Amino acid sequence: MLSKILNSASNDNSILLWYTYLMNLDKPFIAKMIFIYGLIVLVSNVIAMLVPAVISIPVLDTENMKLWEEFLAKNNMVKWVTFIAFITPTVVCIVYTKIISKSDERIAKSIAQIPSVFAFSSVIGWNLYYFIEIPFVVYARALFGIHIKGILLSSWFFALFSGMTGYTIAYLAIEILNRTILLPRVFPEGHIIQKDFAFKPVFRHLLTFSYMVSTLFPVTLLLISYISIHVNNNIPMQKTIIYISVLLVIIAYGITLSFSKIILNPLGKLTKAAQRIKDGDYKTRVGVVTADDFGVLADSFNDMAESLAEKEFMRDTFGKVVDPEVRDYLMSGKGKESLGQALGGQTREVTVLFCDIRSFTAMSEKMQAGEVVSLLNRYFTALGKCITAHHGIINKYIGDAIMAIFGAPVESQNCAKDAFEAALDMRQALIQVNREFNKDGLPELRFGIGLHTGPVFAGTIGAENRMEYTVIGDTVNTASRLESLCKIYKTDLLVSQATTEKINGKDEQPDAIDFKFVDNAQIRGKTEPMKIFTF
């Protein structure tokens, strides 16, 4: 089942939502609502039958119709055909419910289209009513020699009017309950999956059905009644009334179509604009300018888009002030939780990298401040790419030094190996940077890198009104000390034993990295010497 969900969902968020919906389905409540929907279909068909019966559809051929009604009274055919017209929607609703109840996934996918399916069952039932009646009409013709054209026309009009009435009443009632009660209960976060809909609700179709039931059929009924009275009594007809009736039907359709355009066009623009914003185009604006509710909605939408664009700008800027991974962490659930505290975080094993430029103070004294900033920006940009390429984050710039973390806030499979590979890339990047500096007449740079692996406390630290994400602990101090020892041991890279063991394992494998032992160095602040290596 989960594999099907993964195939039908479009992204990670929808997969998670979809899986959550399936896990939280309230089947007894859904079954109760479906039962109520079935009762609504039954009641709508009762109304659909009573309305034409009360109105009494007029016919032009009264003599043949009297013979037909006598035939119906003797055979009780109306009861049986009417029973079929009622039982068919019930059977359709029961069968459909059984089909969707085979799995939780089908239930969740089909809930939104229940109003369309249940309501359409009324149309099926009344169409069967008409087609089952045809053989009896033909039999009556053979028996009595009556003309059946008027009878079939009246029967078809009755079935069509009843079917459309039942559909419209059932759909409106069920759709209102579905939208206000069932769908919010099953999909509290929205995102209804519509990929496999066989009966997708279309507002334009509903308007068309409403027009037919409220305007087309009543006007047609009145018009036929007028014509039948005049024909049956040999009274001259006034064609003006016919023309006016036809004109009213056309005008009403034009009004319905206009309402459809007024409602659906702005909704279409809003939907397309929302999709563009979802894709990251925050400059999108909706061109709906009216004084009604849609105008207010469009203005609110445009204000929202402007606000999102501003927030995205702040988010992007935030990602330049701090590492993007730190930004994403701080904006996530865990990050927000830790930001609500003066001190928040957790103990993690990480590898800390310190990198410092050699003799930078003396070098910067000979340069203008603007030149120093430009040089550092180019240098930091080149080395920063190496760090982020290996899942590290630049925690801070300390003058001309870089402090980077591997393994927090996002965990790494081997933070020490990531940091070591980043250091090797930084070597190559420095060579390229110095080539560019030579071309521009700038001094060449040299650096020292220290790597150490161990436990740290990683989280948000600072005052209530200003915090930063960082790591603290002896591991950070040791990495800084190793970087300083690069000056003494005349090398650009020193790696602690803890880091080499993390990379190669304590029992070195055949493909282990061949680190070069440097010394048992005395690290300031530690009582025991530490084995340090280079490469």
CA distance 226 to 58: 9
DSSP string, 33-50: HHHHHHHHHHHHHHHHHH
Question: Tens of pLDDT along 347-365?
Answer: 888 999 999 998 888 888 8
CA distance 123 to 165: 9
Q: Do the Cβ atoms of 108 and 22 come closer than 8 Å?
A: yes
3-class state of residue 464 by DSSP? coil
Binning pLDDT at 50, 70 and 90, where does residue 56 land?
A: low
- The token pair at 419 is 């940091």
DSSP string, 330-351: HHSHHHHHHHTSSEEEEEEEEE
Residue 464 pLDDT > 90 = no
CA distance 346 to 338: 10
For residue 434, the tally of other CB atoms under 10 A from its CB is: 16
Q: According to the model, what pLDDT value does residue 12 have?
A: 46
Question: Tens of pLDDT along 165-190?
Answer: 788 888 888 888 888 888 787 777 66
Q: Do the Cβ atoms of 495 and 534 come closer than 8 Å?
A: yes
3-class state of residue 198 by DSSP? coil
For residue 503, the tally of other CB atoms under 10 A from its CB is: 23
The stretch 72-95 carries a mean pLDDT of 72
Q: Do the Cβ atoms of 352 and 456 come closer than 8 Å?
A: yes
| Mean confidence (pLDDT) of the chain | 76
Q: What percent of the chain has pLDDT over 90?
A: 12
Q: According to the model, what pLDDT value does residue 341 have?
A: 43
3-class state of residue 465 by DSSP? coil
CA distance 203 to 507: 70
- 71-79 long-range CB contacts below 8 Å, 24 or more apart? 71/136, 71/140, 71/143, 71/144, 75/136, 77/133, 77/136
Q: According to the model, what pLDDT value does residue 273 have?
A: 81
- Comparing 330-339, 409-418, 434-443, 450-459, the range with the smallest average pLDDT is 330-339
The DSSP call for residue 13 is: H
The stretch 28-57 carries a mean pLDDT of 77
Q: Pick from 126, 101, 97, 107: which is nearest to 37 by CA? A: 97
CA distance 210 to 427: 75
- Comparing 173-187, 311-325, 329-343, 404-418, the range with the smallest average pLDDT is 329-343
CA distance 521 to 28: 71
Residue 503 pLDDT > 50 = yes
Question: Tens of pLDDT along 239-261?
Answer: 788 888 888 888 888 888 888 88
CA distances 408 to 54, 380, 470, 471, 479, Å, are 77, 20, 9, 9, 16
Q: Do the Cβ atoms of 28 and 202 come closer than 8 Å?
A: no
Q: According to the model, what pLDDT value does residue 75 have?
A: 67
CA distance 422 to 32: 61
Binning pLDDT at 50, 70 and 90, where does residue 232 land?
A: low
CA distance 385 to 421: 12
What is the length of the chain? 535
Binning pLDDT at 50, 70 and 90, where does residue 330 land?
A: low
- Comparing 128-132, 212-216, 464-468, the range with the smallest average pLDDT is 464-468
Residue 2 pLDDT > 60 = no
Which residue has 């996530």 as its token pair?
332
The stretch 272-297 carries a mean pLDDT of 77
Q: According to the model, what pLDDT value does residue 9 have?
A: 40
Instruction: Please name the residue ranges forming H helices in 454-517.
Output: 474-488, 497-504
Pairing of the two strands 530-534 and 516-521 = antiparallel
- Comparing 65-69, 324-328, 502-506, the range with the smallest average pLDDT is 324-328
3-class state of residue 380 by DSSP? helix
CA distances 297 to 191, 294, 307, Å, are 21, 5, 15
Binning pLDDT at 50, 70 and 90, where does residue 450 land?
A: very high
Give the list of residues 6+ apart from residue 9 with CB closer than 8 angstroms, or none: 15, 18, 193
The span from the first CA to the last CA of the chain, in angstroms, equals: 51
Is the pLDDT higher at 496 or at 34? 496
Binning pLDDT at 50, 70 and 90, where does residue 5 land?
A: very low
Longest CA–CA span in the chain (Å) reads 124
Cα-based angle 311, 313, 317 (whole degrees, multiple of 5) = 115
Q: According to the model, what pLDDT value does residue 352 have?
A: 93
Predicted model pTM? 0.51
Q: Do the Cβ atoms of 326 and 460 come closer than 8 Å?
A: no
Q: Do the Cβ atoms of 164 and 207 come closer than 8 Å?
A: no
Q: According to the model, what pLDDT value does residue 8 have?
A: 43
The stretch 33-61 carries a mean pLDDT of 72
The DSSP call for residue 181 is: I
Q: According to the model, what pLDDT value does residue 425 have?
A: 94
DSSP string, 231-293: HHTTPPP-HHHHHHHHHHHHHHHHHHHHHHHHHHHHHHHHHHHHHHHHTT-TT-------SSH
